[in-house]
Amino acid sequence: MANHKSAIKRIRSNETKKLRNKYQHKSAKSFIKKLDQESKKAVANKSLPKAVSMIDRLAKNNIIHKNKAAHLKSKLVKKVNSLK
């Protein structure tokens, strides 16, 4: 157990950040999954910018690695462009 006041505060803030990161990661993941399963090009084109924005936000906050973000964005753009 933490002995210092600052260590106790740090534990509290880490837990808050962990929950926020988990929520952002999970919501982005489910949005990406929906976009990946989309079959209509118009709908996919409309939701692609939001997905890219979510991925960029995750990478900016170090929730995911920047190379993983680039990989995900590339994969989604290729998928959307291949739709008819």
Task: Report in angstroms the alpha-carbon separations of 65 from 1, 47, 55, 57.
Answer: 31, 22, 10, 11
Domain extent at residue 57: 5-82
Number of Cβ within a 10 Å radius of residue 54:
19
Q: Is 57 exposed, middle or buried (0-12, 13-18, 19+ CB in 10 A)?
A: middle
For residues 6-26, average pLDDT: 96
The predicted structure's pLDDT at residue 84: 84
| pTM across the whole model | 0.85
Domain count, the chain: 1
Residue 31 has pLDDT above 90, yes or no: yes
For residues 65-84, average pLDDT: 96
For residues 64-81, average pLDDT: 97
Nearest to 75 by CA among 35, 40, 30: 35
Match 């837990």 to its residue by tokens: 15
> In Å, how far from its chain's centre is CA 26?
7
**CATH code for the domain in which residue 49 is found:** 1.20.58.110
